[in-house]
Amino acid sequence: MTGKTVLLAGATGLVGRELLAALLADPAVAAVHALGRRALDVQHPKLTSHGVDFAALPSLPRIDEAYVALGTTIKVAGSQAAFRAIDLDAVAAVARAAQGAGATKLGIVSAMGADPSSRVFYNRVKGEMEQAVRALGIDTVVFARPSLLEGDRGSLQQPRRPAERWLQAAMRALRPITPANLRAIAARDVALGLIEALRTRGPGAHVLLSGALQRR
């Protein structure tokens, strides 16, 4: 088989869905292995879907690169501990498993404001996740830190977050005077920007702020 073998964790979210579509359409990709708590209800010749327990991941097939788009909210998770188990522990576990399966390139969807020393719990956990992944020493790691994501959460059966509709409308109106890193961003832009960066950046850990991901 020619072409890349790619791992994707979190293909049911806004960015994960766009990553999956882009990878399946990419002629340079021969196979995509998708990890989720449940197997995907998607059929494609390139796609193998795995329902897994992220706290006890099985052995993975050999892969070339990996993308992680796992994430939730404290409200959906139910507690800070449950949020941390997904946004930190599960992400780090996939990164370790991908490294063990041969991946030398790893792209991760993080969040604007990620900082392990932040007083904001959400930002602190995202920063701790980045810190844990950096410590693995994978050759090339790219962290995408998007601003507010635009996309159809309804089609994914995801609840709309409080005040999100109002905030998106306000951000669209103020877009011409809003700094690029603070503008709302389409989930597809994040996915395409992350893939492009992972393919073109050299060794090391790289952070892509939202402005660098904007494609319009």
Tell me what the pLDDT averaged over the chain comes to. Answer: 89
**Mean of pLDDT values over 183-196:** 92
As a whole number of angstroms, the distance between CA 76 and CA 68 comes to: 19
As a whole number of angstroms, the distance between CA 47 and CA 32 comes to: 5
pLDDT of residue 177: 56
pLDDT single digits (tens) 72-104 = 988 899 999 999 999 999 999 999 999 999 999
Give burial (CB, 10 Å; 0-12/13-18/19+) of 178. middle
As a whole number of angstroms, the distance between CA 110 and CA 29 comes to: 24
Domain with 63, as residue range(s), is: 4-210
Question: Does 215 reside within a domain?
Answer: no
**What is the pLDDT confidence band of residue 196, given thresholds at 50, 70 and 90?**
very high
Question: Does 216 reside within a domain?
Answer: no
Q: What is the total count of domains within the chain?
A: 1
pLDDT single digits (tens) 58-69 = 989 999 999 999
Strand-pair category, 185-186 with 204-209? unpaired
pLDDT of residue 178: 56
Specify the range with the lowest mean pLDDT, choosing from 129-138, 164-173, 194-203: 164-173
pTM assigned to the model: 0.88
CATH number at residue 92: 3.40.50.720
Question: Does 117 reside within a domain?
Answer: yes
Give the number of other Cβ atoms within 10 Å of residue 204's Cβ: 11
pLDDT of residue 170: 53
Question: Does 16 reside within a domain?
Answer: yes
pLDDT of residue 157: 47
pLDDT single digits (tens) 117-159 = 999 999 999 999 999 999 999 999 999 999 988 876 555 544 5
